[in-house]
Structure 1
Amino acid sequence: MNETPASTSARSSTWTLRETPVGPLLLAATDKGLVNVVFHADADTADRALTRLEGRLGSAPVRVDDAASPDAPAPHPALATAAAELDSYFRDELRVFTVPLDWSLSGGFNERVLRELFASVPFGVTAGYQDLADRVGEPGAARAVGAAMGSNPLPVVVPCHRVVESGGALGGFGGGRETKRALLALEGLLPQPLF
């Protein structure tokens, strides 16, 4: 199983921060589509994520804001689409993301699993690690599926929060268990938190 993402030549990217009910998300896009979603994007987390993204894409991502000045760079179209769709998702108005995705931060087995998850596990449904391993033709790879979920560069949009343990336990989550609980509650799979 090859875990090395496909190499990329230098590509431009734009990014923004989005406030959400699960905390600030950093969204980044290239001309191919949404390339990265980062949870808990405080200043330090955003700086680390942007440094990694620059290393992977070969050029520094450029920040764009909703209230950007007229001379500010235009965001890649997928960035505006992703922001609007995530806003709708968190208002419980969106069930299917249509934003184009740039899969260049994933590759090999991990990308196969994440693409399968995106294509076949809809809003309000969960899948198990073993189930996803079976779906990609690797029945002995349930643990590797867990690693693929942990490597997901596009959480929420590629819904790794919907992957749970075989007995129904939440399992791990890169955004933290409370974030996973909140996303599953939003989708009606867990009771809403009391506070």
Structure 2
Amino acid sequence: MHFCRYPSPLGNLLLAEEEDAIVYCQWEDTIDEQMIEKWTEDKEQNSVLLTEACHQLTEYFTQKRKTLNLPIRLNGTSFQLLAWEGLQQIPYGETLSYAGLARQIGREKAARAVGNANHHNPLMIIIPCHRVVASNGELGGYAGGTPRKAWLLEKEKGHNKL
């Protein structure tokens, strides 16, 4: 597996590809370093896919792009895959509650399981789990930290406060 670091406005994102698909996009400060010890860093930036992913992330962070269009591959339980598919349906600049996402995927009583699936989303930003909030409108959790979640939501609404 090859990976690179993308210097986002919120800290480095670690992106990894395997067999011509992005399989990982996480905040570097939230991951276990042992996990990436067997990966190969793409320091020369020879990977066309990782280069394109970084280009699209730059466009996203500069509000020139609303969705990332990259080949991805997900590994998870059938419920996680269903929840992650639902996340991809939430439009840029909008939010949905955990309960709303559970209803949307046909699992009305599974709001907590949706939250758990969000927590294990391997493709932050690409699969926009930051767009899911609590039913009362509060942010709820985010594996990258709630300050990042708040920033991303504000950025998508066009009100970057950094």
Q: Normalising by the residue count of structure 2, what TM-score does the alignment of the two structures yield?
A: 0.92
Q: Equivalent residues in 2 for 1:91-102 (5 A)? A: 91-102=62-73
SS in 2 for 1:24: strand
1:80 matched to 2:51: yes
Q: Gaps (5+ residues) in structure 1?
A: 1-12, 52-59
1:31 aligned partner: 19
One-letter amino acid matched to 1:81:
E
One-letter amino acid matched to 1:115:
E
Distance in 2 between residues matched to 1:175 and 1:89, nearest whole Å? 17
SS in 2 for 1:171: coil
One-letter amino acid matched to 2:59:
S
1:50 aligned partner: 36
Q: Gaps (5+ residues) in structure 2?
A: none
Distance in 2 between residues matched to 1:171 and 1:128, nearest whole Å? 9
Distance in 2 between residues matched to 1:87 and 1:48, nearest whole Å? 28
- Deviation at 1:108? 1.5
CA spacing shift, 1:19–1:107, aligned 2, 3 Å: same
SS in 2 for 1:103: coil
1:179 matched to 2:148: yes
Which of 58, 80, 96 lines up with 1:110 in the alignment?
A: 80
1:62 matched to 2:40: yes
Higher-Rg member (1/2): 1
Distance in 2 between residues matched to 1:183 and 1:107, nearest whole Å? 27
SS in 1 for 2:59: helix
Distance in 1 between residues matched to 2:77 and 2:147, nearest whole Å? 28
Distance in 2 between residues matched to 1:185 and 1:49, nearest whole Å? 31
- Deviation at 1:21? 0.5
More contact order relative to length (CA 8 Å, sep ≥ 6): 1
Distance in 2 between residues matched to 1:81 and 1:101, nearest whole Å? 13
1:167 matched to 2:155: no
2:160 aligned partner: 192
Q: Deviations over 1:42-88 (max 9, x none)?
A: 5x94623415xxxxxxxx321102xx1xxx8x42x432221111111
One-letter amino acid matched to 1:48:
Q
One-letter amino acid matched to 2:96:
A
Query: Which is richer in strand?
Result: 2
RMSD of the TM alignment (CA)? 1.9
Q: Which runs of 4+ in 1 moved over 3 A?
A: none
Q: How many residues align?
A: 162
